[in-house]
Structure 1
């Protein structure tokens, strides 16, 4: 499964947001990367550049490659409702994202690894496709033989109760349920989805 494997701190500094999770490098150097550092004078970004940056930020945040993202956007635009909000709802319904949101993994990349290594089931069946699209009522669970994995037990121990209203969590069985697509105001990421819609509308 193809995925981004490059330097994460550099990307986080480019967007000035911890899009891959807490990052000490971003805290120390809260300015874009480059040989001139914080002293470099940067010109005003064009409208296109701003829109492109927003799209790139969302792709890195959710770990989606270009073709996947484009397909999701077209799916969102063909569905009834607001295109930008539909796009975020579809991203939130990815299996790897739900595993991360439930607290089974501390990061989305960690969640993708758990899914890819067949530690996660959906409705009792092993699913190893990170982009698997969840539907309302789907039950996500840790495989029985994987429940004692240190990475999973440590992550679950640190999760907060009822963190996301569109997901239900059963700590005793390490299972969760995808209740429904979240509303836009429930999604915590700092994303201006209207800029992405504008970009694809050109």
Structure 2
């Protein structure tokens, strides 16, 4: 499946936000990319451009392709509750995102690779589908054979974020997805209302 493999700093600069985490290159040049750099005159964005940019930002943040993201939106639209909030919750419940939140990888792309390479188990069973929807109460762990992986150990030793909806046992290298996070608990700066307006047209 196609994935964006180009320079991440360029994408972060496009949205004027370090959406892929800490980035020294972004801090040096936190203005939009382009031939004329910071001197280029930029007109006022149209309503559609703002909505599209917000959708693209959400897709790049969670590493989801257009068709998959559209399917998630349709699912959120059918579900009870506020569509935008449900959409973001579906993104947060993806297995690759949960692995990232638990600190097993410093990035979502790295977390996706861990899942795809069969290093992660859900309730004791190996799951190698990054888009797998984790449910409240599920136990996500590092596979027994993979517990000695240096990349996981390094990431866990540097992990500093604590999330209310996740518990983590470092000795067992496993965590529990306690509950689906509420919108206020999700730290991502995404205006879901723009995404809903875009898809509603």
State if a TM-score over 0.5 links the two structures: yes
Q: Which residue of 2 aligns with 1:118?
A: 118
Deviation at 1:7, TM superposition (A): 1.7
Counterpart mapping for 1:121-140 below 5 A: 121-140=121-140
Q: Which residue of 2 aligns with 1:44?
A: 44
TM-score (norm 1): 0.97
4+ residue stretches of structure 1 with deviation over 3 A?
Answer: none
Query: 1 CA distance for matches of 2:120 and 2:103?
Result: 13
Secondary structure of 2:176 counterpart: strand
Superposed CA RMSD in Å reads 0.9
Query: 1 CA distance for matches of 2:37 and 2:9?
Result: 14
Q: Which residue of 2 aligns with 1:198?
A: 197
Instruction: Summarize deviations over 1:74-96 as a string: whole Å, max 9, x none.
Output: 00010000000000000000000
Query: 2 CA distance for matches of 1:7 and 1:170?
Result: 34
Query: 2 CA distance for matches of 1:51 and 1:138?
Result: 34
Query: 2 CA distance for matches of 1:67 and 1:109?
Result: 18
Q: Which residue of 1 aligns with 2:26?
A: 26
Query: 2 CA distance for matches of 1:178 and 1:87?
Result: 18
Instruction: Summarize deviations over 1:14-45 as a string: whole Å, max 9, x none.
Output: 00111112111211111100000000000100
Deviation at 1:48, TM superposition (A): 0.2
Deviation at 1:2, TM superposition (A): 3.3
Instruction: Summarize deviations over 1:124-155 as a string: whole Å, max 9, x none.
Output: 11111100001111110001111111110011
| Equivalent pairs, count | 201
Secondary structure of 1:181 counterpart: coil
Unaligned segments of structure 2, at least 5 residues: none
TM-score (norm 2): 0.98
Query: 2 CA distance for matches of 1:17 and 1:129?
Result: 28
Query: 2 CA distance for matches of 1:64 and 1:173?
Result: 30
Residues 165-174 or 34-43, more deviating: 165-174
Secondary structure of 1:80 counterpart: coil
Deviation at 1:173, TM superposition (A): 0.3
Unaligned segments of structure 1, at least 5 residues: none
